[in-house]
């Protein structure tokens, strides 16, 4: 595929019939958020904190729709107890997590949650996949969507900070 | 001191007034017991945990089922933990979502410690400030019927702060199997297990 990977990922989500997208604003997810906002068939739901998106996805599923949660690694920490809803109800779940604090990170405050992100997700029963290169992202997200919505799994895809690119720190 | 209403009587009257196709999510603790005590219905989902998640779960359901009334029935402590979700509802403006907070101003499940709502926080004012236009304060049993009518009208979102008394109620416990509840709920909507 020749399109940039963020657009590829959006196409994967739409092909998987995701029609609710919950998110906390994030530069790494900016394209997906903008596309969800433009798409008349998708409801974009800006959240005040990430755990709302876990409950939102379960509510969507109860009602017959598929949701995805877009967040940063720091947001995973906010979700920990709400993840118990996924296990207790055996809800399918797909989240895309942009990583901070692991590659060319300028802000040390991002590092503690970055290191805990994968262990925390696994401790709460989620399967964790990781995408490092732009030519594998769409494939990994597609695999995660299949596991979630066809095999009723709970899956997180970590999008590496090297993939996202270093944070631009402009002085304008 | 304003008037207070018996929570179980209010929920019973409210649920009795709902359309049969209404979908109801209850927050953990007493609201889950109150909902079950009002009679099992196929469109009920009982939370036993996930504190703070009742409203965002109701929002996802309301967006997925825009032609059905969706009700979130929860308590002041649960709503306080998910207080930001009122802001999220204020952005989405789901016409079919009605949020009913049974407010006794305390955490009944843990020994009756006073909640913020029992001190200083007016959750109805919070909901209004988040952009929910139809905000009600209910302190009488007769308000249950008009609240059920408002849920059926689907001209919301609606937020109701129901001032309930602090009396202990018999615990009437619905099943704790969330997966079974999910499957039965979806089956009632004609949806497959997954």
**pLDDT single digits (tens) B13-72:** 999 999 999 999 999 999 999 999 999 999 999 999 999 999 999 999 999 999 999 999
Distance of alpha carbon A126 from alpha carbon A73, whole angstroms: 14
Token readout for A4 is 């940039």
Distance of alpha carbon B73 from alpha carbon B117, whole angstroms: 16
- Per-residue pLDDT for A167 more than 90? no
In terms of pTM, does the model score above 0.90? yes
Question: Who wins on pLDDT, B35 or B1?
Answer: B35
For the segment B101-141, what is each residue's pLDDT rounded down to a tens digit?
Answer: 999 999 988 989 999 999 999 999 999 999 999 999 999 99
Token readout for B45 is 């989902």
Q: At CB < 8 Å, which residues of chain B contact A?
A: 23, 25, 45, 47-65, 82, 84-85, 87-88, 91-92, 178-179, 181-182, 185-186, 189, 191, 193-194
- Per-residue pLDDT for A46 more than 70? yes
What value of ipTM does the predicted structure carry? Answer: 0.97
| Residue carrying structure tokens 């843990």 | B110
Choose the weakest-confidence range: A43-52, A115-124, B163-172.
Answer: B163-172
| Residue carrying structure tokens 């988040």 | B130
Name the residue among A45, A64, A92 with its Cβ closest to that of B189: A64
Which of A 24-43 lie inside 8 A of B, CB atoms? 43
Determine the average pLDDT of the residues in A23-41. 96
Contacts of B50 in chain A (CB under 8 A): 55, 81-82, 84-85, 88
Give me the count of residues in chain A. 172
What pLDDT sits at residue A47?
Answer: 98
Distance of alpha carbon A52 from alpha carbon A122, whole angstroms: 20
Kindly state whether A51 is in contact with chain B, defined as any CB-CB distance less than 8 angstroms. Answer: yes
Name the residue among B63, B193, B194 with its Cβ closest to that of A60: B63
Tell me how many residue pairs between chain A and chain B have CB atoms under 8 A apart: 126
For the segment A50-105, what is each residue's pLDDT rounded down to a tens digit?
Answer: 999 999 999 999 999 999 999 999 999 999 999 999 999 999 999 999 999 998 88
Name the residue among B51, B63, B181 with its Cβ closest to that of A20: B63
């Amino acid at each position: 595929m020749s399109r940039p990977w963020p657009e590829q990922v959006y196409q994967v989500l739409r092909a998987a019939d995701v029609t609710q997208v919950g998110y906390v604003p994030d530069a790494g997810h900016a394209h997906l958020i903008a596309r969800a906002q433009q798409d008349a068939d998708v409801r974009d739901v800006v959240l005040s904190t990430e755990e709302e998106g876990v409950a939102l996805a379960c509510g969507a599923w109860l009602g017959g729709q598929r949701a995805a949660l877009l967040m940063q690694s720091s947001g995973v920490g906010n979700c920990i107890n709400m993840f118990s809803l996924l296990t207790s109800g055996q809800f399918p779940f797909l989240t895309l997590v942009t990583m901070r604090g692991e590659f060319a990170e300028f802000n040390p405050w991002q590092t503690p949650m970055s290191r805990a992100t994968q262990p925390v997700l696994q401790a709460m029963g989620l399967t964790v996949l990781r995408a490092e290169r732009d030519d594998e992202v769409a494939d990994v997200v597609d695999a995660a969507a299949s596991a979630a919505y066809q095999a009723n799994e709970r899956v997180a895809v970590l999008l590496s900070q090297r993939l996202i690119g270093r944070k631009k720190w402009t002085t304008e | 001191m304003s008037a207070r209403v018996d929570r179980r009587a209010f929920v019973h009257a409210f649920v009795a007034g709902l359309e049969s196709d209404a979908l109801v999510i209850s927050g953990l603790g007493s609201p889950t017991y109150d909902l079950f005590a009002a009679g099992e219905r196929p469109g009920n989902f009982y939370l036993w945990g996930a504190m703070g998640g009742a409203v965002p779960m109701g929002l996802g359901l309301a967006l997925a089922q825009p032609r059905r009334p969706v009700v979130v029935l929860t308590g002041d402590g649960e709503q306080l933990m998910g207080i930001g979700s009122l802001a999220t509802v204020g952005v989405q403006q789901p016409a079919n979502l009605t949020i009913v907070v049974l407010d006794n101003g305390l955490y009944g499940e843990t020994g009756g410690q006073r909640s913020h709502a029992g001190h200083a926080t007016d959750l109805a004012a919070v909901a209004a400030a988040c952009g929910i236009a139809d905000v009600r304060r209910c302190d009488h049993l007769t308000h249950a019927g008009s609240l059920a009518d408002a849920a059926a009208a689907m001209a919301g979102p609606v937020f109701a702060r129901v001032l309930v008394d602090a009396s202990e109620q018999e615990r009437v416990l619905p099943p704790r199997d969330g997966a079974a509840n999910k499957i039965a709920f979806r089956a009632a909507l004609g949806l497959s297990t997954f």
